[in-house]
Amino acid sequence: ASLFAAVEMAPRDPILGLNEQFNADPNPAKVNLGVGVYFDDAGKLPVLRCVAEAEKQLLESPKAKGYLPIDGIAAYDKAVQGLVFGAESEAVTSGRVATVQALGGTGGLKVGADFLQRLRPAATVLISDPSWENHRALFTNAGFPVDTYPYYDAAARGIRFDALIAKLQAAAAGTVVVLHACCHNPTGCDLSPAQWQQIAATCAERGLVPFLDMAYQGFGKGIAEDGAAVQCFLATGQQFFVSTSFSKSFSLYGERVGALSVVCASKEECARVLSQLKIVIRTNYSNPPTFGAQVVATVLTTPALRAMWEKELAGMRERIKAMRSALVQQLQAAGVQGDLSYITTQMGMFSYSGLGKEQMQRLRSEFGVYGVDSGRICVAALNSRNIGPVAAALAKVMA
């Protein structure tokens, strides 16, 4: 028999599977609100001007493609620290943050998970209920039992904060807590600064291991504002992890640009942690790719390009907000009753519509509007042409 005779067919990735279904749909009016990707008002994946400019500069003086250091481009890692923690923050200036370049935000999570597995093999990992699909699978594959903490309150369209805190208070010391630093995927419901303070304090008191997933910095309220959660954890003085993704904020999805940062107690400890992160990387893929991180480092460290990026990022953020307001207006105009303010209060690329699986399926089959069965729609894929038909379809299904 073949070596692979007993290999079972794995289930399709639910969101990528939705894409395949979308591509096969002959409906000319179809709209894809499934994947978490930002499109511009023309419905296109944008090429940021700052990125095009940096690429041009890099190509004008082509560099040989040698191996990068295991932890990536030093200037890139430093720029990431500035963005995530603040270049002047005590943790950064005292050299107690270990930052490594990683293959997107997913790569940052996985390097962190593998390192944690060596350190705390018996720990449980807590993820939000609900969370990004890949959190559970990634930490399970890294060898951890994965459980959830209460998060979304469907009835109130808010956060079950007391239940969340109770779960953290009951968790064993050493439990890893994965938190969405901003723009929660899939619900769009973010914690307030006061709530972040309370979570950070609880983690410190209980000896939990916070792992912040920051995949949308700049898509919520602004670059610094979206980093508020990180500041709350810094203020407690505890050790914690932050994964960074530039997939969305630079529209560099396929270049796989991200990072992992680990905040340590001292510079000396940081050197030991970094040496272990390098072993994780070395034994997985040896060292990271060059181009995407060169582009991001160039943009972040060249003042004119940096200013251009901040403006372009603000443009994406504002366009999403405009689409949220327009969606509310059009739903109301189409006769949808009730409080729709949750659509404009939610942060980032997603809106949790509150629709159930059957309604989401009806949106697809009757109207060619593709969202995730959980009711998640990507607001960043709405534009001035498709919003009318989408609102009309939603209004029929919500009626």
Which one of residues 190, 213, 226, 255 is an interface residue with ligand PMP (CB under 6 A)? 213
Which one of residues 104, 210, 218, 220 is an interface residue with ligand PMP (CB under 6 A)? 104
Which of 132, 167, 190, 309 is the catalytic position?
132
Residue 353 binds ligand PMP (CB under 6 A): no
Segment near ligand PMP (CB under 6 A); pick from 92-100, 104-112, 118-126, 278-286:
104-112
Segment near ligand PMP (CB under 6 A); pick from 88-96, 103-111, 291-299, 385-393:
103-111
Min dist CB 244 to ligand PMP, Å, is 8
Min dist CB 152 to ligand PMP, Å, is 14
Phi then psi for residue 206, to 5 deg, are -90, -5
Q: What is the dihedral of CA 365, 370, 372, 378, to 10 degrees?
A: -160
CB 261 within 8 Å of CB 81: yes
Min dist CB 40 to ligand PMP, Å, is 18
Q: Is residue 167 among the annotated active site residues?
A: no
Identify which of residues 157 and 248 has a Cβ nearer to ligand PMP in the complex: 248
Min dist CB 348 to ligand PMP, Å, is 9
Beta carbons within 10 angstroms of residue 83's beta carbon: 22
Q: Are strands 158-159 and 152-153 parallel, antiparallel or unpaired?
A: antiparallel
Identify which of residues 115 and 211 has a Cβ nearer to ligand PMP in the complex: 211
Site string for ligand PMP, 24-43 (x = CB under 6 A): ------------x-------
Q: Name the H helices within the chain.
A: 14-24, 49-60, 74-85, 90-93, 104-119, 133-141, 161-170, 193-206, 223-226, 228-236, 267-284, 291-301, 303-333, 341-345, 357-367, 387-398
Identify which of residues 138 and 391 has a Cβ nearer to ligand PMP in the complex: 138
Which one of residues 79, 215, 273, 343 is an interface residue with ligand PMP (CB under 6 A)? 215
Q: Is residue 213 among the annotated active site residues?
A: yes
Residue 220 binds ligand PMP (CB under 6 A): no
Query: H or E stretch including 180?
Result: strand 176-180
Q: Of 251, 256, 244, 243, which Cα lies nearest the Cα of 293?
A: 256
Identify which of residues 348 and 368 has a Cβ nearer to ligand PMP in the complex: 348
Which one of residues 258, 288, 368, 371 is an interface residue with ligand PMP (CB under 6 A)? 258
Which one of residues 22, 39, 115, 132 is an interface residue with ligand PMP (CB under 6 A)? 132
Identify which of residues 245 and 251 has a Cβ nearer to ligand PMP in the complex: 245
Residue 130 binds ligand PMP (CB under 6 A): no
Show the tokens assigned to 133.
Answer: 């699909």
Q: Is there a cis peptide before residue 69, judged by omega within 30 degrees of 0?
A: no
Min dist CB 333 to ligand PMP, Å, is 31
C-alpha 7/C-alpha 350 separation (Å) is 36
Min dist CB 122 to ligand PMP, Å, is 25
C-alpha 362/C-alpha 397 separation (Å) is 7
Which one of residues 32, 247, 353, 386 is an interface residue with ligand PMP (CB under 6 A)? 247
Which one of residues 245, 290, 294, 298 is an interface residue with ligand PMP (CB under 6 A)? 245
At 210 the three-state DSSP class reads: strand
CA-to-CA dists, residue 223 to 107, 191, 301, 311, 314, angstroms: 22, 16, 16, 11, 9
Site string for ligand PMP, 167-206 (x = CB under 6 A): -------------x----x---------------------
Q: Is residue 153 among the annotated active site residues?
A: no
Query: H or E stretch including 244?
Result: strand 240-245
Residue 292 binds ligand PMP (CB under 6 A): no
Residue 261 binds ligand PMP (CB under 6 A): no
C-alpha 184/C-alpha 213 separation (Å) is 10
First and final C-alpha spacing in the chain? 56
CB 94 within 8 Å of CB 102: no
C-alpha 339/C-alpha 337 separation (Å) is 7
- Looking at the annotation, which residues are catalytic? 132, 213, 248
Q: Which residues bind ligand PMP (CB under 6 A)?
A: 36, 104-106, 132, 180, 185, 213, 215, 245, 247, 258
